[in-house]
């Protein structure tokens, strides 16, 4: 095996591991990223690590895949990016297929159904709590509060409007902050991250 292939194999395996250990996902994974990319290997500087976080939070998509594309490209161009992303996706596909195959038969069992009624309560609590925890970092201005509440109310009354609500919020941000005076520092310049 030549060196180039070896590099690609390493990329694949590292991101397979990232995909495998991303439980829930998002920023909780940063210690693993640091360990794999900057401590064990000289793949990323601390500054690039910050760039990854900033970028994944300003682009659509899942952090594990986005960081795979970013790091893979650094290491071995487009080929590296593809290999790394496939490595990150593969654990999900394997594990979920295994679960999916037995889902229908397992959920005929009344114990499983009851157990999952319990989990559904925790899931609802987890997602509402995740949203509430994001308020502190994200809702720092009247503008942000108005956008968050309007989007929430709109989506609550019309669940098919999700994409329109996001587009409207994007437009509102572009227009509101675009019209604001540049020389006057706005209190919400440091609007935090919405990543989860």
Partner 1 sequence: MSGLLELIAVFLKISIFSFGGGYVMIGYMQNEFVSRGWISANDFANIVSISQMTPGPIGINAATFVGFTTEGYLGAVLASVSVALIPFILVLLVSVFYDKYKSNKVIQNILKGIRPACVGLIIIVGVGFFETAAMNGGGFKEFFAGEAFFDIKALILFAVSFVVLLKTKISSIWVMLASLAVGVFLF
Contact range with partner 1 by CB under 8 A, out of 6-14, 38-46, 134-142: 134-142
Does residue 188 touch partner 1 according to CB under 8 A? yes
Q: Which residue in the set 5, 47, 159, 183 belongs to the binding site for partner 1 (CB under 8 A)?
A: 159
Among 8, 43, 66, 76, binds partner 1 (CB under 8 A): 66
Q: Can residue 185 be called a binding residue for partner 1 (CB under 8 A)?
A: no
* Residue 196 near residue 61, CB atoms below 8 Å: no
Min CB(173)–partner 1 separation in Å: 2
CA angle at 38 for the pair 51 and 93, rounded to the nearest 5°: 80
Contact between 149 and partner 1 per CB under 8 A: yes
Residues 80-99 that bind partner 1 (CB under 8 A): 81, 85, 88-89, 91-93, 95-97, 99
Could you tell me which residues come within 8 angstroms of residue 195 by beta carbon, excluding any fewer than 6 positions away? 26, 27, 53, 56, 57, 63
In contact, 38 and 110? CB cutoff 8 Å: no
Rounded to whole angstroms, the Cα distance separating 73 from 195 reads 22
User: Smaller CB distance to partner 1: residue 3 or 132?
Assistant: 132
CA distance 113 to 3: 51
């Amino acid at each position: 095996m030549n060196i180039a292939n070896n590099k690609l194999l390493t990329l694949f395996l590292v991101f397979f591991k990232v995909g495998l250990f991303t439980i829930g996902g998002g920023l909780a994974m940063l210690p693993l990223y640091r360990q794999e990319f900057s401590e064990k290997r000289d793949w990323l500087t601390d500054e690039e690590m910050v760039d990854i976080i900033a970028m994944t939070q300003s682009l659509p998509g899942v952090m594990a895949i986005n960081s795979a594309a970013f790091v893979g490209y650094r290491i071995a161009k487009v080929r590296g990016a593809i290999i790394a992303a496939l490595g990150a996706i593969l654990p999900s596909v394997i594990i979920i297929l295994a679960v999916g195959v037995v889902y229908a038969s397992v959920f005929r069992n009344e114990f499983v159904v009851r157990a999952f009624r319990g989990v559904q309560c925790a899931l609802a609590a987890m997602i509402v709590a995740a949203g509430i925890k994001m308020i502190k970092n994200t809702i720092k201005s009247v503008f942000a509060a108005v956008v968050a509440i309007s989007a929430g109310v709109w989506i609550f009354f019309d669940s098919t409007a999700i994409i329109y609500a996001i587009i409207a919020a994007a437009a509102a941000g572009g227009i509101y902050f675009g019209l604001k005076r540049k020389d006057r520092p706005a209190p919400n310049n440091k609007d935090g991250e919405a990543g989860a």
